[in-house]
Amino acid sequence: MSDKYRDTLAQSHVTTDDAEVAAAVHKICEKAHENMNQEVYRTIFNCIDLTTLNTTDSPRSVADFVDRVNAFDDEHPDLPNVAAICVFPNFAQVVRTVLDVSRVGVACVSGCFPTGQSFIETKIAETSLAVDGGADEIDIVFPVGNYLDGDYEEVCDEIAEQKAAWCDARLKVILETGALKSAKNVRDASILSIYSGADFLKTSTGKGYPGASLEAAYVMCLCIKEYFEKTGTMIGFKAAGGISVTEDAVKYYTLVKEILGEKWLTNEYFRIGASRLANNLLSDILGEETKFF
């Protein structure tokens, strides 16, 4: 009997050979030095989802965090601000209330982040509260366990149901590529997420598993490219988990540039989730060590 999920996966021409992926990434990253310049640093800075996801977060600490983003506009009016502030869903209203910079979005991890393990009703309720509180971007975790069990219908239904519950917010699906491990799993998870309504593919939670890898990013970007060539729809890409220095950020920028092209190199379609990266990148932009955030 035909299986629409496996039929869709079988139609993909994206490589699943891990050695081939590693070789391609190495070749592309040899070009990264061409992008080590001020213009690229500013672009990447403008693509950062500035993130605080700590047990110690509180309304006061999050408000102070947001105030630094407000202050950045005043103290560095010649530089682009970050793309969004990313917090737990219970702080969406705090960010929305304190944030004065209209160009900066409000993003929330949700759906029982970082594991995604709970009832679908709980996930939807949590995200609905985040959206009601002012979030315009939602980062949810791909149902890795169901995927590894081969239950693709459950995987796609869960993503589609969460997407339908808050259609006005942009949906980023976190693949948790460190748990998926292989190029084939990353490819198949990317395709299932895209066809279920993902607006963005995101690499990792940064919690509990290896974070972003260039190899996973390469496969994800190829899937995004393949989908665009079939449908004309642009899906965004977000690297997250352990990216803290400028050189590494430039490598992800280079991958996106070489695979997807210049039109993806804005914060509409390219993001890097980071906390430490912002200060390191800003230091390279200003030419002196800076700890602004």
Task: Pick the closest to residue 146 from 115, 124, 121 (CA basis).
Answer: 115
Q: How far apart are CA 178 and CA 249, in angstroms?
A: 18
Catalytic residue from among 238, 248, 257, 284? 238
Choose the catalytic residue: 49, 139, 248, 284.
Answer: 139
Which residue stretches of the chain are H helix? 4-10, 18-29, 38-45, 59-75, 92-98, 120-132, 144-148, 152-165, 177-180, 183-195, 214-231, 246-259, 276-286
Given the residues 123, 163, 172, 202, the one annotated as active site: 202
CB 86, CB 78: distance < 8 Å? no
Dist. CA 14–CA 187, nearest whole Å: 7
Closest CA to 259 of 219, 230, 231, 232: 219
CA gap 159, 142 in Å, rounded: 8
**178/6 Cα distance (integer angstroms):** 23
291 included as an active-site residue: no
User: For this structure, is 199 an active site residue?
Assistant: no
Angle at which helices 183-195 and 214-231 pack, to 10 degrees? 40
Active site residue 3: no
What pairs with residue 201 in β-bridges?
173, 237
Q: In angstroms, what is the C-alpha Rg of the chain?
A: 18
Instruction: Give the active site residues.
Output: 139, 202, 238
